[in-house]
Amino acid sequence: MRRLTLILHLCGGALLAGLLGVAQAAPLSSALGPLVLQEVAGGLEHPWALAFLPDGQGMLVTERPGRLRRVSADGQLSAPLAGVPEVFAVGQGGLLDVALSPQFATDRLVYLSYAEKGGDDLAGTAVGRGRLSADLGALEDFQVIFRQQPKLSSGIHFGSRLVFDRAGYLFVTLGENGQRPIAQDLGKLQGKVVRLQADGSVPADSPFAGRAGARAEIWSYGHRNPQGAALNPWTGQLWIHEHGPRGGDEINIPQAGRNYGWPRATHGINYSYLPIPEAEGETAPGTEPPHHVWAKSPAISGMAFYAGARFPAWQHSLFIGALSAQALIRLSLEGDKVVGEERLLEEKDWRIRDVREGPDGWLYLLTDESDGKLLRLGLEAPQP
């Protein structure tokens, strides 16, 4: 399709930047009006996550095989950044999430989550951080600050999203590595959300600190494979979502020390169509029900609340990527309550891996393909 240059005014007022877009073959519609969809960059191999750099320096994008790229303001892909750790790029494993330090303006620290190989060809999720070099070409002095223990994954269910809260704590979502019962085992880090200090140390007020047989890093447990997480901009609470088995994808608002049920409580069944052996039903004593659940799994990944001023009609929406459903899901919120659902971009047949609200008020999406794309999406409406 014919490419054209679009001029974008970033809401932060830092600059005017040209972004590359693509002409649309046909209009895209939504309940709130026509959509504008533009390609920012292509040629990404299974991109997994993105983070926005300040001052118009573009975005950092992870590629699951183990590369970290910078996409410039004009849509150009950099060479892979140096200093990225070796990853276990098997199955669902590889280089996963990326997040900037809350003090990035002064410390220039970039956080990565990734699948890390252990012994016996098994792996687990690790988190590390390095300093982005002045020329934007490398992560310097990269250090691992957290490792999921023990390493049990043969290539599935790593999680793993990174979210800093308003107090500067780092939340990490961890899959159960395909080992269902371990999600209930407080002595292991599978199927958990953990909360850390920015340096990887454990906060003194952790809910399981000092409890015999429990890992002090744990914030909540009973999770299956959480691949979406975001901080609610209106309440400051962490929201996550996680894959169910065949059915039962969930949104949860994890609270300190609470059990979110997997595999004792689930709305899904095994891929073999047989019941989950450990399941007691859709609910189980001592576990929290999901905040929202899908009976048929869209296979959800990535999560972004919309609080921007550019598209007021999207205010108080929660956007979630869908892999098997090949769509972008928009949930309408009233407070914390989900009151409506709309599926966008279904005609495109894209696996949407990540979704973020940009500093310019547009939505940015990554498609999980061997020739993956970085896209931006908005409403065809008057803009400030």
DSSP assignments along 52-112, one per residue:
EPSTT--EEEEETTTEEEEE-TTSPBPPPPBTPPP---STT-SEEEEEE-TTHHHH-EEEE
Q: Report yes or no: 78 and 136 within 8 Å, Cβ to Cβ.
A: yes
Q: What is the identity of the amino acid at 86?
A: E
* Residue 105 in tokens: 């303006």
Sign of CA dihedral 260, 265, 266, 269: positive
Candidate list 46, 157, 223, 243, residue with the active-site label: 157
Write the DSSP assignment of 164-224 as a string of letters.
Answer: E-TTS-EEEEE--TT-GGGGG-TTS-TTEEEEE-TTSPPPTT-TTTT-TTS-TTEEEE--S
Give the number of other CB atoms < 10 A from CB of residue 303. Answer: 26
To the query of whether residue 157 is one of the catalytic residues in this protein, the response is: yes
* Residue 6 CB burial class (10 angstroms; 0-12, 13-18, ≥19): middle
Which residues are identified as catalytic?
Answer: 157
